[in-house]
Amino acid sequence: MKKHSIFAFACLAIFSCNDSDSKTDTTVTSSDTLAVNGTTDTGITTPSTAATMPADSATAKFLVKATEGGLAEVACGQVAQNKSVNESVKMFAGMMVSDHSGVNAQLSMLAGQRQVVLPSETSPENKKMAADVEKKSGAAFDKAYMDMMVAAHKKTIGLFEKASGELSDPAVKTLIEQTLPKVKTHLDSAQAIRKRL
């Protein structure tokens, strides 16, 4: 039951970024965990000794949205690994857990350096959407999960591309530029799996 509650909470975070001035999601992707000196195994680097500096509003908003999506990807992936009846879906879910965990650590570090407080929960409306997916089982769950992943990654690509063009923070832009190709790979994988279901 606890895993299902986490799923409902986390999956909704994927959809929590649909505000009036942005039609993008917050899914962030990469792989592995943050290592000492701010380097991940994916080659994404950030200053490990960066001074704390307040973020401008656009940077803060991006960090919040990206974190919401990243946390959702990890939690939803963990549930899908246990609940899915399809080996490809389980493998994809495992990739989501692995890849998003590393970027989540990077986002947390960047947010801390910029005095940005990251959210811990999403709206009731978004929680309901995730609960609707969680109610499904078997092949219906797999299809609903993969549909959610396709939609989330399309929104994330939009979020990252927009932020890449608008933000001025060099460390955040570097993270975006190095993470965006992985998000696109996730989308391609999600679409291919969904077509086979």
Query: What pLDDT, on a 0 to 100 scale, did the predictor assign at position 91?
Result: 98
Residues of the chain below pLDDT 50:
5-6, 8-10, 12-13, 15-49, 123
Query: Which residue reads 């086979």 in tokens?
Result: 196
Which residue has tokens 């704390």? 52
Answer yes or no: is 31 within a domain: no
What are the pLDDT digits (tens) for 99-141? 999 999 999 999 999 999 997 765 455 555 667 778 899 999 9
The domain of 63 spans 2-19+50-196
Per-residue pLDDT, 25: 38
Question: What per-residue confidence (pLDDT) applies to 134?
Answer: 82
CATH code, domain carrying 171: 1.20.1260.10
Name residue 105's amino acid.
A
**34 assigned to some structural domain:** no
Q: How many domains does the chain have?
A: 1
Residue 159: its pLDDT value, please? Answer: 95
Residue 10 placed within a domain: yes
Write down the pLDDT at residue 183. 96
CB 130 within 8 A of CB 8: yes
Residue indicated by tokens 């994809």: 92
Nearest-5° Cα angle at 147, 25 to 152: 10
Take residue 20 and report the two structure tokens written for it: 């009036």
C-alpha–C-alpha distance, residues 114 and 133, integer Å: 35
